[in-house]
């Protein structure tokens, strides 16, 4: 859960290179100990995201193509 929070935390473009270092390090560690990817909650919907370290190891079951006509993001300040 904590890694998912780090992966979906918004960062400012000017500090992105530094802000992403902790989550990149954790993902590299997870990869090194033998996992093939990570699953985490989406920050913009109720869905989930899957980050594969080596996509060639995955076998797709089916695919769908979508034309996205609009994207909307709502932000709630804490």
Q: What pLDDT score does 62 carry?
A: 92
Q: What pLDDT score does 14 carry?
A: 74
pTM score: 0.57
Q: What is the mean pLDDT of residues 30-59?
A: 87
| Structural Rg of the chain based on CA atoms | 15
Q: Which residues are within 8 A (CB) of 6 and not within 5 positions of it... i.e. 6 or more apart?
A: 22, 23, 26
What percentage of the chain exceeds 90 in pLDDT? 26
Sequential DSSP letters for 11-31: --GGGHHHHTHHHHHHHHHHH
Q: What is the mean pLDDT of residues 45-57?
A: 87
**Token pair belonging to 67:** 């034309």
Nearest to 4 by CA among 36, 42, 32, 34: 42
Please provide the average confidence, as pLDDT, over all residues in the chain.
81
């Amino acid at each position: 859960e904590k890694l998912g929070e780090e992966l979906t935390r918004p960062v400012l473009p000017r500090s992105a290179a530094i802000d992403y270092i902790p989550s990149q390090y954790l993902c590299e560690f997870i990869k090194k100990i033998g996992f093939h990817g990570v699953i985490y909650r989406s920050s913009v919907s109720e869905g989930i995201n899957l980050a594969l370290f080596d996509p060639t190891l995955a076998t797709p079951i089916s695919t769908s193509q979508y034309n996205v006509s609009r994207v909307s993001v709502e932000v709630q300040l804490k």
